[in-house]
Structure formats: structure tokens, C-alpha cells
């Protein structure tokens, strides 16, 4: 997703590399889940249980709230100078173009592979082109609102629609936090819980995809987004009061939260206990990473931070890339579904995903990062324009 570590240090001269490490962990979680599925969901003790939880969207949402609110948690006076138009303009410059390129990649990659396979003298069928509705909904970030389109181009990019909704909700949360403080974020969590309960009660149809699409919306995931914002407040406003007993308590909270989130009974509850628990889990992790030197050093490890800085590009292209690597290994190399295929996807497949993601980062995302940092050109005042016209 489009959370950048550079934004986490907005207004500061030092980059927080451990935040990039957290982003890398979130990407590795999504990569592990999808490749595990492509490998036929092999049963590996402990590992399969952890990977199958599919907690990566929750982690990304918490990180998004944390990173966006971080500059204001560090310097609350920045809230008074916040401009919604400038903020949205920076967001658009930062995320839209890489996302559009990733959509084109997902559409044309299978067609290119068909051409290559036929040139090698083997049979290959043309893949269906997305419909006009698919394209329009994805280009406008509204595909999560449509059952026919939400996963049509690239199954993992439904989260981009969710991210855009959260970006639009952020100014409202910021205004509320500026006026009422942290309790406004607690109210936002409560409002999101009420919304999720109403979805279960009033939305007809099955849990998936009918209720899922409503629950995965910005309002449905607002509790995790606000949890990330609260983590920023705790990490920087009360960090000097955090002592070893508090760290031990946070570790215990993480353990309990993960246990509760993975219990099947709570995953089918009317209350969104799973999302509340995961928001608590990842919020606590963020606080620990930023306040415990050993944890900070671990997540600031250069290879991890390097990957995290590029995780948006990696995320955008990982699913179609890993899928076709798995198809190649099965159909051309004769590797059956199972543990061996998963191991190859986590090594060879990861290398291919990294190479393609790095190419997208260098050619598209990094220029967009630099573009987003540039201030918008200010129009000259009317008096100056009049004077210039007279001259």
C-alpha cells in the first residue's frame, strides 16, 4: 500500500528506518499468504497456521494511520496549518501513477506471456481483457463498491480502494483530533464498531462477498486506521513515561490480541473482535519498535528497511508476478503443488517479484515520491497578475 517511510519523517531530518522495516514485514506477510495459496495451501506445522491468518490488510491499515498521523503526533502544532487540498494533492501524486502502471502490468502481462509461449511452439490461450466497468471502477478507486469488479483486474488491489477511502477520511479525523484530542480517535473506533455491527444485521447475503465488501470499506476498517493514529500518539507523546513494566505489558497485550484474533469463534462474531484485536496487536508492535532500542535496531536492519521503502511497488505487482512464476514452475518445470513449490516461490519467486518491483520503483514510484515532495506552484496574487498584464 501507499504508506511511505519518507512521510513518516515529515518535518524531521532523520529517517525512521524501523518504520520501513515494519512496512517490509507487512509486505512479506501478504507475499507469504498469496504464494502459500498458489502452492496449494500445503500443511506445514505452525507455519501454515500463521500464514493462513491473512492479517496483512489489517497491518497495512494500522501502518497507514500511524504514518499519516506521525508528523502531527510529533508536532501537534502542525495540525493548525493542515490544508486538505495540499494533502490530497500530495497523496494523488504519490500513489496514483504507480497504481495505474500496476494495473496496466496486470492486464498486459498475461497477453505477453501467451505470445512468448506460442513463439516457443507451445499452446497458450488468450486471457480475457477486463471490461469497461472493471477499468472505470479501478481507475477511480471505487472497485470495492462493486461485487463484479472489486477483484477483477488484480485480486490484491482491492485494498487500494480501501486506502483511498481512508485518505479521504483522514482530514476529518485530524480535525476531530485537533479539537478533542485522542478521545476523538476512540470515538472513531466506536463508530466503526457500530458500522460493522449494522453491516452484519442489515446487509443481506453471505458473509463473503456481500458483507465482506461493506466491512472492508473505509468505515469498516476505520477502527484499525484510528488504532494506528493512537499508536503514533503513544509512541511520541508519552514515550518518556514508558518503562520496562509497560513494555512487558505491551508484549502480553500483543500475545493476547493475536490469540483472540485467530480463534475461529471470534472471527464469526457480530462484533468485529478480530479487527479490534489486530488493531491492538499492530499498534502495540509499533510502540514497542519505536521505544525499545533492540526492537528498533532489528526492524531498522538495512535489507529490511531497503525492502520496506520499496514495499508499495512490490505490493502492486507481487500477485500476478508470483502467480505466473508458480504456473511456470508447475507447467514447464513439473513442480507439483506442495512444500517444494512453496519453497521455490519464497526464493526464486521472491527474486522475480523483487526485480519487477524494483523496476517499477526506480522508473515510476521514486519519481512520484520526489514529485509529491515538491510544493504546488502558487498562483501569483491578483494584483501581481494585473500589473503583469498592464506591463
pLDDT tens-digit series, residues 264-308: 877 777 899 999 999 999 999 999 999 888 999 999 999 999 999
Average per-residue pLDDT in the chain?
A: 88
Q: Which residue has the higher pLDDT, 316 or 239?
A: 316
Q: Identify whether 341 is part of a domain.
A: yes
* Cα–Cα distance, 108 to 87 (Å, whole number): 32
pLDDT at 53: 78
Q: Which residue has the higher pLDDT, 75 or 387?
A: 75
Question: What would the grid cell of residue 293 be?
Answer: 532500542
**Res. 117: pLDDT tops 80:** yes
pLDDT at 10: 39
Span 152-179, average pLDDT: 94
CB 30 within 8 A of CB 50: no
pLDDT at 5: 41
Q: Identify whether 213 is part of a domain.
A: yes
pLDDT in tens, 207-231: 788 889 999 999 999 999 999 999 9
**Res. 98: pLDDT tops 90:** yes
Say if pTM beats, i.e. exceeds, 0.75: yes
Domain that holds residue 297: 5-376
* Cα–Cα distance, 152 to 1 (Å, whole number): 18
Q: Identify whether 72 is part of a domain.
A: yes
Instruction: Average the pLDDT over each of 138-142, 182-186, 238-242, 384-388 and give the range with the smallest value.
Output: 384-388
Q: Which residue has the higher pLDDT, 245 or 9?
A: 245
pLDDT at 13: 41
Q: Identify whether 277 is part of a domain.
A: yes
pLDDT at 11: 40
pLDDT at 376: 64
**Res. 389: pLDDT tops 70:** no
pLDDT in tens, 54-63: 777 899 999 9
* Cα–Cα distance, 80 to 265 (Å, whole number): 44
Q: Identify whether 334 is part of a domain.
A: yes
Helices 158-180 and 84-119, packing angle to 10 deg: 170
Place of cell 497495512: 60
pLDDT at 121: 82
Span 345-367, average pLDDT: 97
Q: Which residue has the higher pLDDT, 373 or 6?
A: 373
Q: Identify whether 386 is part of a domain.
A: no
Give the number of domains in the chain. Answer: 1
Identify the CA nearest to 177 among candidates 164, 168, 187: 187
pLDDT at 377: 62
* Cα–Cα distance, 42 to 330 (Å, whole number): 15
Q: Identify whether 389 is part of a domain.
A: no
pLDDT confidence bin for 373, thresholds 50/70/90: confident
pLDDT at 57: 83
Q: Identify whether 384 is part of a domain.
A: no
Question: What would the grid cell of residue 341 be?
Answer: 513449490
**Res. 12: pLDDT tops 80:** no
Amino acid at each position: 500500500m501507499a504508506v511511505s517511510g519518507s512521510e513518516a519523517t515529515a518535518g524531521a531530518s532523520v529517517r525512521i528506518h524501523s518504520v520501513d522495516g515494519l512496512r517490509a514485514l507487512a509486505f512479506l506477510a501478504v507475499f507469504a499468504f498469496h504464494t502459500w495459496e498458489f502452492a496449494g495451501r500445503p500443511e506445514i506445522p505452525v507455519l501454515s497456521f500463521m500464514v493462513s491468518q491473512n492479517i496483512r490488510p489489517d497491518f497495512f491499515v494500522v501502518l497507514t494511520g500511524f504514518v499519516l498521523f506521525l508528523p502531527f503526533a510529533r508536532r501537534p502544532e502542525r495540525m493548525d496549518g493542515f490544508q486538505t487540498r495540499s494533502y490530497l494533492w500530495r497523496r494523488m501524486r504519490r500513489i496514483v501513477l504507480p497504481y495505474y502502471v500496476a494495473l496496466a502490468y496486470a492486464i498486459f502481462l498475461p497477453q505477453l506471456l501467451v505470445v512468448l509461449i506460442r513463439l516457443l511452439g507451445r499452446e497458450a490461450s488468450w486471457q480475457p481483457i477486463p471490461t469497461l466497468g472493471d477499468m472505470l471502477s479501478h481507475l477511480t478507486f471505487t472497485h470495492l463498491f462493486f461485487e463484479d469488479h472489486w477483484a477483477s483486474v488484480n485480486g490484491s488491489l482491492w485494498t487500494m480502494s480501501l486506502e483511498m477511502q481512508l485518505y479521504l477520511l483522514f482530514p476529518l479525523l485530524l480535525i476531530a483530533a485537533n479539537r478533542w484530542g485522542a478521545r476523538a480517535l476512540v470515538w472513531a473506533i466506536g463508530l466503526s464498531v457500530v458500522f460493522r455491527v449494522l453491516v452484519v444485521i442489515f446487509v443481506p447475503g453471505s458473509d463473503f462477498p456481500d458483507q465482506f465488501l461493506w466491512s472492508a470499506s473505509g468505515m469498516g476498517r476505520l477502527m484499525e486506521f484510528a488504532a494506528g493514529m493512537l499508536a503514533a500518539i503513544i509512541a511520541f507523546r508519552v514515550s518518556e513515561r514508558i518503562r520496562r513494566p509497560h513494555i512487558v505489558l505491551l508484549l502480553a497485550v500483543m500475545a493476547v490480541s493475536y490469540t483472540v484474533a485467530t480463534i475461529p469463534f471470534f472471527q464469526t462474531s457480530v462484533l468485529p473482535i478480530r479487527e479490534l484485536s489486530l488493531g491492538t496487536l499492530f499498534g502495540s508492535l509499533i510502540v514497542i519498535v519505536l521505544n525499545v532500542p533492540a526492537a528498533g535496531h532489528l526492524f531498522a536492519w538495512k535489507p529490511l528497511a531497503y525492502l520496506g521503502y520499496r514495499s508499495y511497488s512490490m505490493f502492486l505487482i507481487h500477485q500476478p508476478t508470483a502467480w505466473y512464476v508458480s504456473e511456470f514452475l508447475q507447467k514447464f518445470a513439473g513442480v507439483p503443488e506442495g512444500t517444494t513449490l512453496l519453497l521455490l516461490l519464497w526464493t526464486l519467486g521472491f527474486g522475480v517479484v523483487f526485480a519487477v518491483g524494483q523496476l517499477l520503483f526506480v522508473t515510476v514510484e521514486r519519481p512520484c515520491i520526489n514529485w509529491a515532495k515538491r510544493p504546488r506552484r502558487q498562483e501569483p496574487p491578483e494584483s501581481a497578475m494585473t500589473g503583469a498584464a498592464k506591463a
